[in-house]
Amino acid sequence: ASGLYIVATPIGNMGDITRRAIETLKAADLIACEDTRVTSKLLLAHLIKKPLIPYHEHNGERQRPRILEELALGKVVVLVSDAGTPLISDPGYKLVEDAQNQGYSVFGIPGPCAAITALSIAGLPTNKFTFLGFPPTKSGARKNWFEAEKRNSGTLVYYESAKRLTDSLSDARSVLGDRQAAVCRELTKKFEEVRRDNLSALIDYYATHGNPKGEIVIVMAPNDQTSDEQTSAIDIDTTLTLALEH
Ligand code: SAM
């Protein structure tokens, strides 16, 4: 059927593509993608040849009318990211919004997502969680970003670049306290690794071994106190330490 198809693609292991994703790519009249070189490789692996147009944050404004025009002509348009589920810290939100507003059908072809994969293996509560995207790159802004989640009673899931890992974990500890966290790295790939410990131990580990390489999702345990009136264990600790000092 004509419409916009949001198709998830592998996050590392090429085997993680669904039959529907392949069928949908085969049925496409046009494929919008972040990077045509990356998507060309995926299509080549499945012997699919289709017209590609780049769609990313720098050309979205310009490309959207073109894509919507194809939908108006009754075409099958597919949106893919370089990896994982489009729109999840990736382009596409405005396009889907416009397509919905203009009455076109929008279909999701589900598949890999690094955030959900990490959450499913971190061993931290999954009944309530917040996906936070990427933290700011500067320490001050990053601390404010954590500050806003201080009273969040769910698990926190976010993306972080490998080179900022130790600094980022340190900022998290200074704002959120010494919580349990899982550093989930290179998921579905050869050097896949989950390191789960309290933040202090994780910071020690990465300070000693150096920031790792590769792609990372951080999963952070919830605040153990959910109510504003209650004082958290961390606050009690801090208060006691201060009281003893004086
Ligand atoms: N849309 C993608 C998804 O559904 O997972 C996420 C895109 S975002 C631009 C890329 C970030 O996702 C990486 O910097 C990393 O934090 C995380 N990521 C992607 N693939 C990963 C993997 N295989 N292992 C760990 N993290 C990954």
Q: How confident is the model at residue 203 (pLDDT cuts 50, 70, 90)?
A: very high
| Ligand 1 lining (C-beta closer than 6 Å) | 11-12, 81, 83-85, 88-90, 113-115, 159, 184-189, 215-217
Pocket probe for ligand 1: among 6, 16, 89, the residue whose CB has the most ligand atoms within 8 Å is 89
Distance CA 78, CA 26 (A): 10
Encode pLDDT of 130-186 as tens digits.
Answer: 999 999 999 999 999 999 999 999 999 999 999 999 999 999 999 999 999 999 999
Closest C-alpha residue for ligand 1 atom 8: 89
- How many angstroms does the Cα of residue 159 sit away from the middle of ligand 1? 7
* Complex prediction ipTM: 0.99
- How many angstroms does the Cα of residue 65 sit away from the middle of ligand 1? 28
- How many angstroms does the Cα of residue 62 sit away from the middle of ligand 1? 26
Of 83, 88, 69, which Cα lies nearest the Cα of 2? 69
Q: How confident is the model at residue 50 (pLDDT cuts 50, 70, 90)?
A: very high
Query: Tell me, what's the pLDDT at 230?
Result: 45
Query: Tell me, what's the pLDDT at 224?
Result: 78
- How many angstroms does the Cα of residue 189 sit away from the middle of ligand 1? 12
Distance CA 215, CA 227 (A): 34
What is the DSSP secondary-structure string of 30-47? EEEES-HHHHHHHHHHTT
pLDDT at 226 over 50: no
Distance CA 170, CA 90 (A): 26
What do you get for the CA distance between the two ends of the chain, in Å? 72
- How many angstroms does the Cα of residue 114 sit away from the middle of ligand 1? 5
Query: Tell me, what's the pLDDT at 117?
Result: 98
More confident residue, 246 or 19: 19
pTM for the model stands at 0.91
Query: Tell me, what's the pLDDT at 227?
Result: 40
Query: Tell me, what's the pLDDT at 223?
Result: 86
What is the DSSP secondary-structure string of 186-211? STTSTT-EEEEEEHHHHHHHHHHH--
Encode pLDDT of 27-36 as tens digits.
Answer: 999 999 999 9
pLDDT at 234 over 60: no
Q: How confident is the model at residue 238 (pLDDT cuts 50, 70, 90)?
A: low
